[in-house]
Chain A
């Protein structure tokens, strides 16, 4: 049960990060290797902001939750307009370009923020004891064993991720912006032939994708710590999730994130984190062999 909860937190954060990656790939056909660095930047900015703002930690955190994704999103929009647009969104050249972006962001962070891992204080962090059920002398008994606990913050992370994911879904399915994005995803030229400014849509999608990664990082940073190399793991896991779920499929991405996050949590607790990674990567291999379009993907035209 504890493992499930830990896994859910991983799953929640992973789902947000991976949905950002999936959105960028789905609409723009750009494989964004620098996605993990946008994640890392979100965490670092959250650290800087919570440090700069005095008062109750919740105030700084709330500001970070809004400002960090916006800042990172703006940075991504600038990167899109100055780099990706000039490459004409060529699938291969953008991979190389985002690898370059990855190192630039990473090294700049190392030079300015330093090599230390620094914690951010959670806005609220009540310890919640979890009940345990066991058959005793009096039948089914419930008690609170020492050490079996979670924090209110972890539950809040899961809740926030669910709300955000519902928001993304609603945006894609119900709003005009979502309609424009999906039309662009379906056929870029025809989208232009119907008056959709595809380049603006691309810039926006890249910004939203990066913003989601940053948002996920702000949520996780009170549990992990902000570090300039922290982007590698979420990047790898996001790719695993996106491949399993089907490139460009949002529901598939979320389901795969839950699958990978939960199994990661459970296996890490009972066996070892390495085994969890091995299994996840094995799963990717199997999916690629037997269902190349992903579990929820539709075969591309």
Chain B
């Protein structure tokens, strides 16, 4: 199968090589390898419990790496302590948003800005993308609507000026207009050269935005296909995701 590379931006920004990881003694990921290039959206598809969220938490250093190598822009990040990983330039938008409850919108963004010492102009850029947040700056994060919370979670990650962005089910439970808003931001980030790793349950949403799709099954690599190929032939999706 020909590997689908973007001709100009052919740099592997985020790379996982034979990664083994899991919770305590329960191993979840087995020799998983992935590559996300700058300016590319790679979507991770798989059944529940296949290891999608585990992959993201392992990249962030929140789960111990048993073996294998994770690198960002050529630098080994797998051996760094968890709090050093985001400082290298990875923004994480976790499943269920996980905002800092009790902190205001402005303070949540402030934590994001502090991670890599980003200045006020970064905040302005981010608020440009999510004007709704500007009106809510003094409000506590947990009082926002679901869509606004997702915007805030995304904005918080963008405050890092990330080289790579991890999105775990960003459209879960959102109304269509919000999904569209989030999608547009993701596409814009791709155009800016950010490497994007996306976990998403809804296959249609994936195919409309992803460049490549990597299947994951029981913590192991499945096939990696271009989104175009999948759009043409839907059967392989059914085999891995079983809808």
Tell me the A residues contacting B by CB distance below 8 Å: 176, 179-180, 182-183, 185-187, 189-198, 298, 301
Contacts and interface: CB of A to CB of B under 8 A. Distances in A.
Nearest to B113: A194
A204 to B, nearest CB: 14
B101 A186 contact: yes
Contacts of A176: 114
A182 B102 contact: yes
Interface of B: 57, 60-62, 81-87, 92, 94, 98-103, 107, 110-112, 114-116, 156, 160
Given A193-B62, A193-B92, A179 B83 contact: no
A163 B60 CA distance: 41
14 contacts: A179-B110, A183-B103, A187-B98, A189-B57, A189-B98, A190-B98, A191-B83, A191-B111, A192-B82, A193-B60, A193-B86, A194-B86, A195-B86, A198-B82
A194 B62 contact: no
Contacts of A183: 100, 103, 107, 111
Contacts of A197: 81, 83
Contacts of B61: 192
A179 B60 contact: no
A179 B107 CA distance: 7
Contacts of A179: 103, 107, 110-111, 114
A32 B101 CA distance: 24
A187 B100 contact: yes
Contacts of A196: 83, 111
List of 8 A-B pairs having minimum Cβ-Cβ separation, nearest first:
A195-B115, A186-B100, A192-B82, A197-B83, A193-B92, A195-B86, A183-B100, A195-B87
Contacts of B101: 186-187, 301
A195 B110 CA distance: 12
Contacts of A190: 92, 94, 98-100
Contacts of B156: 194
Contacts of B86: 192-195
B94 A195 contact: no
Contacts of B82: 192-193, 198
A165 to B, nearest CB: 19
Contacts of A180: 111, 114
A193 B168 CA distance: 14
